[in-house]
Structure formats: structure tokens, C-alpha cells
Structure 1
Amino acid sequence: MSKTYPPPTAVIDPDPSRSWLRRAWPLVKAHRLMFGTALASSALSLLVSVQVPTLIQDALDNSITSHKVPLADYMWWLVGLTAVMLVAGFFARQLLFRTAYKIEYDLRNLMYEHLTGLSFPFYDRVQTGQLISRANSDIRSVQMYLAFAPFMLVQCGIAVVAFGYMLAISVPLAILSMLPMPLVFVTSRQMQRSMFPVSWLIQSRLADVATVVDENVNGVRVVKSFAAERRQLSLLQKAAVKVRWAYVKDTDLRARWTPAAQNLPRVGMAIVLLYGGYLAIQGGLGVGAILAFNSYLLMLQIPFTMLGMLIMMGQRASASAKRLYEVLDEKPEIVDSATAVDLEDVRGDVEFHGVRFGYADGPDVLDNFSLRMDSGETVALVGRTGSGKSTVARLLPRFYDVREGSVTVDGHDVRDVTLHSLRDTVGIVLDEPFLFSASVRDNIAYGRPDADITDIERVARLAGAHEFIMELSEGYDTVIGERGYTLSGGQRQRIAIARTLLVNPPVLVLDDATSAIDVQVEQEIHAGLRTLFAGRTTLIIAHRLSTISLADRVVLLDGGEIVADGTHAELLESTPLYAEVLAQANVEELGGVAR
């Protein structure tokens, strides 16, 4: 049994008018106990560290200068403070990183869950590489900022406490040491404004590189078959050059602004040394006080050292968050209606009534398409390439919604039933089946993970796959390569057929599902298919005469409309276009064999 994992503990605020940080706040709030403990431990460690300069000041004044207190007393106090800092620092970092990874876990699961809920039209227009980039580098940028920015702000809190101690030592000296800080603020604001556009550009161009890599890895067979490696490498180089330019620009901006933001506070140190030294010479301050004051001023350097990093992380996270929200704010186009009901006790009556459909804003692919299939009937849909056959197959399980007309199952409009029950009812095998990089057993049992091996073998036999599976190195436990490319096209199709048959759908759609199977092998599995078709409504999209012979009747599609309907013999006799389509399909198949 596969291990189950808990769902995300929070979601992104759906209000797009809010800032990206406010929208992401629920993710942090969900882990507030652990995160708060981490920040509290960090604050404790810092508060203890602030006591060290005062302790050293007292040691110099009371033990070294005046010999009032034994130096060993201060040594033990220092050991105790160090121990507290070690323990608090340990818990702070451990809990902080746990929180960071929990936030990342939630973000990745939210992203994947949302992607699985989006409709086919979304994937038709979005590049896979863009999604991969957003689901990886962009999520990491947001996670880093959400988890570590508060930690850095707590670290910066040491500046307030340290400044309080500085005021206690000498008010004029403390005020003089802070004179450069307004310049630091102005510099930081300018750095923020300059870096945001570049941060957005970096993330966008990283996604472009991911797209090129993804397409070349997935399409490696096409690339190599056309000897296009150098051309594709050139495309990658162009994308990489753009990323390099953006990174160099980012580095230039940081090189311009970060040194100023980090080093302007050192002017305050020079003031301390000048004026503090004068006060020490005049007897206004002791050596211990000057040393403690200088230590506190060094503590003030930490926030300003972090300032450049914090701004950089913030701008990168802001750009990444907006790219993530572009996907998370995308609404599914195909959803259950408020009154949707489950399909139950399905007989398998299917009807397309006056259907008009086209993809996105394109022209109509189907126009006034009407077809009725009675329960248990097997219908072959035949037509030229581009006539709309596969579109019919995609409308039945409601991968897309029609522009006009309706598609019904047992009299229920598919828009009025739940998607889950509809897709449990309609099983579809595509002409180019997708297999996962898993065992043959797991691929066949994808729709029924708890299926018994006996049932898996039964459908594999019916699909004509059992024999070649047993010849694999580990039989049904053989792990096939990504997308199933370690198998032939016909073998992949047979496993895909078995996968669909295992869920035993009342309505079955075979979209050229045996196009890659040798004709002789196809004939061998026909007996099994005929047995499965009995009592099951089946739509066969085919061009082979051997496949068409499985159907009770044949429907000829042309220009998005049905132009003929009858048996194979009737159409051969009455419809010249039918014979022409079959002849053309035969020529194309023979040409493919010849090649």
C-alpha cells in the first residue's frame, strides 16, 4: 500500500488585490507555533549576546582597573551566557529550517493540486518549462523569504537593544554614531527600486531556459532524427545569454548599492573612535565603556550587512510570488456545476446533439454534429485527417465544453454531472498513450491501484499484452522508461488498452488505439476486444478496415459534420467519399511501412 502524505496546512489568500506578502501570510500562520518558537529562541540568543559587552566592560572596570571583583566571577558569567546562546541558537536554527521546509512543502503541494485541477485549455496555451520553473525556483525564492526574512528582522532587532545600551553609556556619542543612518535608508530604497525589475527578468528568463531544456529532453528523438542538435543548442545558448545578462545586471546593481548600504555605518565607527577617544582622554569615559560602545556599534553593523541580502531576497521573492500567483489565480474552465449529480447505474446511451465546437478562439472543428449510440453499441468514426474525429473523443469525457448543442450520457448533459463520475464512466485510449516511469503492473493498475494481479493479467491478455510482458526482464514488475519509450509503440498501446479495460468503464473510446499495432497482432486481440465490447457502448476512431470491422455501424465525418451513417458494406456501396477515405488511409499506412 502506498504511503499517504498530509495535505497542505493552509492556502494562499485568494484576493488578488492584496500584496503578495499578505496573500502568502496564511502559509506562515499555519506554522506559527514552530516559527514563533524559532524566532523567540533567536531573540533570546541575541538578547543574551547583547549582555556580553556590558559584562566585559564591568570586568575591565571592576576587575582589571579597580580590582573590586575577582575576574573569575565574570569568566563564569561569560561561560553561562555562552551556553545559553548555544542552546537557544541550536533550537532557533533547527526550528527555523523545519518551518522553511514545511512552507515549501505546502507551496509545492498547493501548486501541484491546483495544476491538476486546471482544464485542458490551460495546458494548450502554457509551456511546460514555464510551469516547471515556477514550481521549482520560484517556490524556493518565496519560501526563502517567508522563512528567513523574519529571522533576519529579529537579528536586526539587536540594533534597537544595542542602541539602548549605547544611549546608556553616552547620549551624545550614540546620536553622533547614528548620523550616517538616514543615508543608509535612502541607499536601501534606491537599491530596492532598481533591483525589482531585474529580479522579475531573471525568473522569467530562467523559465525560458527550463522550457528549452524540457522540450529538448522530451523531444530528443525528434531532435536527433533531424540532426538538429546544434540548432537546439543555439536556442539554448541564446536563452542562456539572456539569463547571463540579467544576472550580470543584478550583480552590477548589487555591486553599486550594497557596499554603500553596508559600509556607511562604518562612518559612525570613525566618529566613535574620534569623539569617544576625546572623551576618554578628558576622563569623561572609561576604557571599558569605549570598548563596550565599540562592540555595540559592531552589532549595529549586522543589520546593515544583512540589509542588502534582505532587499535582494525580497525583490526576488516578490517577482517569484507574482509568477506563482499568475498560475494559482488561474480558474479552471471545466468544473462541476453547483447542481451536478453523480452518474449511477450507467446503461451507456450516448448522444451528441447539434454540437458546435472549436478550440480556444479558433474556427469551428465540429458544426451541427449529431450522433446517437445506444447502450452496448459499437460505432466506428471514420474521416480524413483533421475532420474532427479526435475532437469528438475529447468532448465525451468533457475535456472541453461545447460552444453549442449538448453531449449526453443516459440522457444527462455531461455539464450537469460530476467530472469524477463522468470520467469513471467514460474510458478513453489515445493514439499516443502516455505511460509512467513505473512498473508495467503499476501502469496497468493506474486507474485501480488496489487491483489484484489476476485482474491485471486478465486485461493484459485481452489487450494482447501478456506475452510480451512476460518476455520482459522482470515481467509485470519491469520498470519501463520515461513515457514508456523502452517499449515499442504497439506495446505501449496494448498496455494503455489494458489500463483502460481494468477500470471496466460502461462507455469506451478507442482513439486510433491500435494504430501502432501490427495488423497481425491486432487480429489476435480482436477476439478479446469483441468480448469486451459486448454490453459496452464503444466509439472506435479508426482508419483500418480490420478495426472498422469490429463496429456494428460506421459513421463518416467530413468538415465537422456527419455525411454518412450505416454499415461498412452500405457505405462502400452508397458513399464514394468513404471508399476514398479508406483508400487514402491505406496508402498512408503502406507508406509508413515502406519508410
Structure 2
Amino acid sequence: MSPRIDPDRSKSWLRRALPLVRAHRGMLFTSLGLSLVGLLVQVQIPDALRRGIDDALVARTSDLNTYVWLVAALAIAQGVLNFGARKYLLRTAYEIEYDLRTLIYSHLVRLPYGFYDRVQSGELMSRAASDVRAVQMYLAFGPSILVQCGIALVAFGLMVSINPLLAVVAMATMPLIALLGVWMRKAIFPVSWLIQARLARVATIVDENTQGVRVVKAFAAEPRQVQALADAADRVRWAYRRDALIRSRWAPTLESLPRLGLALVLLFGGWMVIDGQTTIGTIVAFNSYVLMLQPPFRMLGMMIMLGQRAAASAQRIYEILDTESEIVEADRPIDARLRGELEFRGVGFAYADGTVALADLDLRVAPGETVALVGRTGSGKSTLGRLLARYYDATAGTVLIDGRDVREYGLAELRRQVGIVPEEPFLFSATIRDNIAFGRPDAADEDVIAAARAAGADEFIGHLPEAYATVVGERGYTLSGGQRQRVAIARALLMNPPVLVLDDATSAVDVSVEQRIHTALRDLMVGRTTLIVAHRLSTIGLADRVLLVEDGRVVADGTHRELLDDPRYAAVLASYDTPTDTATDIPTDTAAHVANDEVTTA
């Protein structure tokens, strides 16, 4: 049975988690069985002491050595059984923790971009760490604690068989313990939820400041950020103090009530011994049984605390697992090599925060054509590539590739064939080679080097300490912005996608390097449909067509020369900061025309 969480949201959190526990029922039942047998052995020890005292010491009808060896043998057997029970219990706990983390991560990677637009990464880290641990502790150790509490029933049965009246006296405090346990459970739950939520906030602050440490240092904001963390930690501290206050009120009472039972046994048992209704050995045995009841009831208080924290954590985990992806795979997805014909029919799209990116946009790109998208920031250029790869789905209209709705294609195959190079690429803390070959881990070294050369990255990689085996720092920050962009371009080119989207992918590259990249890209773009989000005239020079995008619509379509007469196009070009590359990759007379037009427009 594969580990899973029951998707039925109407069930309690514990019933939903039962399939996860059942996946490891073999180890869990083995642990519980050994624990139960160990407890059955344990409860025999007080009875052996009773018979030893009464028969060997008082009545002198038996040999004391017999009982000494019996108690020693029972103690050794109990130790062996407890060792096995503990071993399998811990294995079960670690397996449940592994499965929970795997389930969460597997679901997270299936969720679309829109989910990550709404949720902070620190919040997700907290749910995959402390929340998972809280649920794991209860699912694995909860049954064991219940079995240990079951010793009370066994012990009570033995006490009844020895002396029913004294057994009732010894267990007189148990109903009150059960009632206090219910009250404690109700008091702890809200605080447990608050603790987990505030821990998640602390994790978010730490995550953001770790990733944004360069910004923090650049603005000398360390004291302010430390104070923000201190404020969040102080709120966690308050919640923990509240939790400690509740437990300090209830837990000592839960632990002490069995000791009150011990006093009652001594009192009433003493009277019964004086009256000849019971024996000294019986009182010693009952004292041992009452003492034996204390750890289970102490653990019962801990179980109540674990249960409330686990309930709060489970609900936070289920919030992730119950989140359904807006990007749904087709029932019978198409997996075919794309030709690269792109079409947007009346496409509209708005992000989750309400920002409208595209509005009734129509566009067609022929296979093998290279099209530059030009427009002001926020005009919707980058969104086109994201809709092609189904990072998001259009909220209106249809996006088609090769005449078919992109929703008909298999997601994995579609994204392998639509390569996107973002303006701010992400690199993993791995070797340069592994970053380039991320989409094709089994790629030959020759192919990796060829892709790096095409992206203009081979030269700087050769100067690194270990060349392609050099490990870049977290997020690739040991490389410059331009170097990261070239590695990202190489990563996309290695996949050899029939559709390539360059989202201002050379914005951080200097002009001389950009020229070499463009020279290589001209050859690589032959027969490949390419969309270029352009902010440089040199990049526009790579395109067969140029589209001017404004307010989510294509308002002008033509070649660079044709659009120069459109004042809107000239205004956008004038807004670009391109003083050093106006003559790059554009014919001389065109560059002069643009320069003059920019001056006139300004």
C-alpha cells in the first residue's frame, strides 16, 4: 500500500492520515506487539514480589532464591522486548516523516506559478519541517503511548484478582485524570496552532534575509532586520510561554493524581493488614502497580499536548495538499515534436492580484520565425512566453501551438519543447556542468560545451578554478549577472527546443559579449520559432518581425524599419537606455535613423 493522505476533507485530520500509517503497519504493529508483551512481563514483577514476600519472607513456605531469579529473568526479558519495540518504533517514525516530506514536495512541484505568487517560501519551509515533525511524533508515538497506557487496564485486572476492594481504592483517582485530560486538550489546541503559525513567520524572515543578504548589506539595514526577527521571535516566545503556562497548570495535576492513589493504598491497605484482610506483600505489590501507573499517565499528558500540536500542524499541511493546481493535465495528452507555429486568439490574462497583463491579444507566429516583442515595462511581453509553456493558463481566449490548444499537450513534453530563458535566471548550488545539463542530466560533455559556446559562456567558464566542475554559490551568486544569463541560455539551448523564448536574456551582458552570443544565436535560431523580449536595439536586430505591445495588446506589427515611422514605437525605443548599442547589429543607416528619431521624440 503506497503512502498517501486521504483526500476526503470531511474527515478528521487523524482519519485522513491513517493511510499513511497503514503503509507502515508491519513495523508499527511489530513495535506495538513487542511493547505490549514487554508490559505484560512488567506487570508480573510486582506479583512475583508479592508472592516472594508473603511466601518466602512471612510464611517461609518457599525458597527466596526462586523469586529472586524469577524477578531477574522478568527484568531481562522486559529489557530485550523494550529494545526491539523502541527500534521498530523509531524506524516507523522516520519512515512516516520521510513519506510526509515526499508527499508535500511532490505536491509542491505540481503546483503552478500562481501558487508561489501567493505563498512565502519560508512558510512552505516551516510546514515541511516543524509541522511534519509534529505530525510524525504523534502518528508514530501516539499508538505506543496508548499501549503503554493500556498497562493500567492490565494492572487493574491483576489488582482485582488479588484484592477487589483495594483495587477500587487504587484506581479512584482515574476518572478525574480523564476529565482533566479533556480540559487540557481544549486549552492547548489554539495555542499550538498559534505556535506553528508564528514559527512559520520566523522561518520566512530568516529565508528572506538569507536570500536577500546583499540587499540588506547594501542599505545597511542589518539592525532593522535583526529587530524584525526579534519581534517575530518575541511573538513565538509569548506563544510558547502561554503553552508552558497551560501545561504547568494541568500536567503536574495529571502526574500527581496517581500518587494520591498510592497514599490511599497505604491508608486503606494498612487498615486491612491490621484487620487481617490482606497481606504485606499485597500492599507492596499494589504500591508497585500504582507507581507503574505514573509513567503512562505522565505520557498521557504529553500525548494530549502532542495531539493538539499535531492537529494544528496537520491542518497547515493539508492546506498545501488540498490546494488543487489550476494547470490540469489533459486526459489523453499529446506528446509530439512541435513544428513551432504559435497563435494567440483573443487571449486575456490577469494575475492573482488582479493585474491585467493581456487583453484580447491576437498574434500568429510562423514556424521558424523570430519575433521581437517590444514595449514598456508591464505591457505583457513576458506573459506570452509563460502562457506558451503553461506556467499559467489564459483566463480568456486560446493559446495554440501547431494548431492545437496548449492544454491538449502533456505538460512535461510541452515544457521540454518550449525553452524559456528568464531575465533573472536561477542557478542551483551545483557545478557549472550540472546547471547547464539540468534539463538533460545524461547529456554528453561535448554537447554541454557546445551549448556553452553558443551562449558565449565557454570562455569565462574556462577561466574558473575547475572550469565546468566549478561549484557556483547559492542561486549562482558567485557569478556575475551576465555570466548567470549565459549559463541559463546554454541550459535552454542544450534542450534544443523547437520554440525558444528569450525574456530579455542578455540584459546583463556587455555589448561585446552580446555580439558574440547573437552571432551564435543567428545560426541556432534557423528553423526554430523564437520570441525575443527585447530592450536593446541590438537584440531587436535578431528578429524577422517586431511587435509593439501596449496594455496587453499588439498595437503594431512589422519589421524594425517599417515600425520606425510609428511614433509609439519610437517613443518606446527612446525610453530604452541604449546609448552604447544603437549601432550594434542594426545597419548603419537604420541606427542613424533611430538615433535621430529618439532625439526628435525626446
TM-score bin (small chain): over 0.9
1:266 aligned partner: 259
2:146 aligned partner: 153
1:76 aligned partner: 69
Q: Does 1:133 align with 2:126?
A: yes
Q: 1:469 is aligned with what amino acid? A: I
Question: For the residues of structure 1 that align with 2:33 and 2:65, how far apart are their CA atoms?
Answer: 31
Q: Does 1:516 align with 2:508?
A: yes
1:373 aligned partner: 365
Which residue of the other structure, out of 307, 315, 327, is the alignment partner of 2:308? 315
Q: How many residue pairs were aligned?
A: 581
Q: 2:524 is aligned with what amino acid? A: L
Which residue of the other structure, out of 334, 340, 364, is the alignment partner of 2:333? 340
Instruction: Choose 189-198 or 75-84, whichever is displaced more.
Output: 75-84
Structure 1 residue ranges without an equivalent (≥5): 1-7, 591-595
TM-superposition CA deviations, 1:103-139 (whole Å, max 9, x none): 0000000000000011111111111111110000000
Conservation of the 8 A alpha-carbon contact between 2:258 and 2:291: no
TM-superposition CA deviations, 1:526-561 (whole Å, max 9, x none): 121111101100001011111111111111111111
Question: For the residues of structure 2 that align with 1:68 and 1:95, how far apart are their CA atoms?
Answer: 43
Question: For the residues of structure 2 that align with 1:64 and 1:470, how far apart are their CA atoms?
Answer: 89
Report the secondary structure of 1:264's partner residue. Answer: helix
Q: 2:467 is aligned with what amino acid? A: G
Which residue of the other structure, out of 7, 23, 45, is the alignment partner of 1:14? 7
1:101 aligned partner: 94
Conservation of the 8 A alpha-carbon contact between 1:348 and 1:536: yes
Q: 1:154 is aligned with what amino acid? A: V
Which residue of the other structure, out of 339, 354, 358, is the alignment partner of 2:350? 358
Q: Does 1:177 align with 2:170?
A: yes
1:543 aligned partner: 535
Question: For the residues of structure 1 that align with 2:148 and 2:357, how far apart are their CA atoms?
Answer: 62
TM-superposition CA deviations, 1:467-522 (whole Å, max 9, x none): 11111111111110000000000000000000000010000000000000011110
Q: Shift of the alpha carbon at 1:338?
A: 2.3
Question: For the residues of structure 2 that align with 1:34 and 1:555, how far apart are their CA atoms?
Answer: 63
The verdict on how the C-alpha distance between 1:589 and 1:189 changes in structure 2, with shifts beyond 3 A counting, is farther
Question: For the residues of structure 1 that align with 2:323 and 2:337, how far apart are their CA atoms?
Answer: 35
Conservation of the 8 A alpha-carbon contact between 1:9 and 1:106: no
1:183-198 correspondence to structure 2 within 5 Å: 183-198=176-191
Question: For the residues of structure 1 that align with 2:486 and 2:237, how far apart are their CA atoms?
Answer: 46
2:81 aligned partner: 88
2:470 aligned partner: 478
Instruction: Choose 346-355 or 68-77, whichever is displaced more.
Output: 68-77
Q: 1:405 is aligned with what amino acid? A: G
Question: For the residues of structure 2 that align with 1:192 and 1:474, how far apart are their CA atoms?
Answer: 58
2:567 aligned partner: 576
Q: Does 1:490 align with 2:479?
A: no
The verdict on how the C-alpha distance between 1:446 and 1:120 changes in structure 2, with shifts beyond 3 A counting, is same
The verdict on how the C-alpha distance between 1:589 and 1:137 changes in structure 2, with shifts beyond 3 A counting, is farther
Instruction: State the identity %.
Output: 59
Report the secondary structure of 2:508's partner residue. Answer: coil
Structure 2 residue ranges without an equivalent (≥5): 582-602
1:409-488 correspondence to structure 2 within 5 Å: 409-488=401-480
2:159 aligned partner: 166
Q: Shift of the alpha carbon at 1:293?
A: 1.1
Q: 2:296 is aligned with what amino acid? A: P
Question: For the residues of structure 1 that align with 2:440 and 2:326, how far apart are their CA atoms?
Answer: 27
Question: For the residues of structure 1 that align with 2:577 and 2:251, how far apart are their CA atoms?
Answer: 70
Q: Shift of the alpha carbon at 1:584?
A: 1.3
Question: For the residues of structure 2 that align with 1:47 and 1:253, how far apart are their CA atoms?
Answer: 34
Q: 1:281 is aligned with what amino acid? A: I
Q: Shift of the alpha carbon at 1:586?
A: 2.0
RMSD after superposition: 1.3
Report the secondary structure of 2:577's partner residue. Answer: helix
Q: Does 1:325 align with 2:318?
A: yes
Q: Shift of the alpha carbon at 1:15?
A: 0.2
How high is the TM-score relative to the length of structure 2? 0.95
Question: For the residues of structure 2 that align with 1:361 and 1:408, how far apart are their CA atoms?
Answer: 26
Question: For the residues of structure 2 that align with 1:363 and 1:473, how far apart are their CA atoms?
Answer: 45
Question: For the residues of structure 1 that align with 2:230 and 2:577, how far apart are their CA atoms?
Answer: 43
Question: For the residues of structure 2 that align with 1:169 and 1:462, how far apart are their CA atoms?
Answer: 89
1:226 aligned partner: 219
Question: For the residues of structure 2 that align with 1:120 and 1:402, how far apart are their CA atoms?
Answer: 13
Q: Does 1:528 align with 2:520?
A: yes
Q: Shift of the alpha carbon at 1:589?
A: 8.6
2:279 aligned partner: 286
Question: For the residues of structure 1 that align with 2:108 and 2:355, how far apart are their CA atoms?
Answer: 27
Question: For the residues of structure 2 that align with 1:235 and 1:118, how far apart are their CA atoms?
Answer: 30
Question: For the residues of structure 1 that align with 2:100 and 2:182, how far apart are their CA atoms?
Answer: 29
Instruction: Choose 421-430 or 174-183, whichever is displaced more.
Output: 174-183
Conservation of the 8 A alpha-carbon contact between 2:424 and 2:485: yes
Report the secondary structure of 1:586's partner residue. Answer: coil
Which residue of the other structure, out of 381, 385, 388, is the alignment partner of 1:389? 381
Q: Could you list the runs of 4 or more consecutive aligned residues of structure 1 that deviate by over 6 angstroms after TM superposition?
A: none
Report the secondary structure of 1:415's partner residue. Answer: helix
Question: For the residues of structure 2 that align with 1:452 and 1:359, how far apart are their CA atoms?
Answer: 40
Question: For the residues of structure 2 that align with 1:30 and 1:579, how far apart are their CA atoms?
Answer: 65
1:503 aligned partner: 495
Instruction: Choose 74-83 or 9-18, whichever is displaced more.
Output: 74-83
Conservation of the 8 A alpha-carbon contact between 1:352 and 1:372: yes
Question: For the residues of structure 2 that align with 1:522 and 1:233, how far apart are their CA atoms?
Answer: 41
Question: For the residues of structure 2 that align with 1:246 and 1:435, how far apart are their CA atoms?
Answer: 38
TM-superposition CA deviations, 1:421-460 (whole Å, max 9, x none): 2111100000000000001111000000100111000100
Question: For the residues of structure 2 that align with 1:236 and 1:409, how far apart are their CA atoms?
Answer: 48
TM-superposition CA deviations, 1:11-30 (whole Å, max 9, x none): 10000000000000011101
The verdict on how the C-alpha distance between 1:173 and 1:92 changes in structure 2, with shifts beyond 3 A counting, is same
Q: Does 1:56 align with 2:49?
A: yes
Conservation of the 8 A alpha-carbon contact between 2:341 and 2:367: yes
Conservation of the 8 A alpha-carbon contact between 1:169 and 1:293: no
Question: For the residues of structure 2 that align with 1:361 and 1:213, how far apart are their CA atoms?
Answer: 25
Conservation of the 8 A alpha-carbon contact between 2:536 and 2:578: no
TM-superposition CA deviations, 1:289-343 (whole Å, max 9, x none): 110111111112222111211110000000000110011000000111224322x
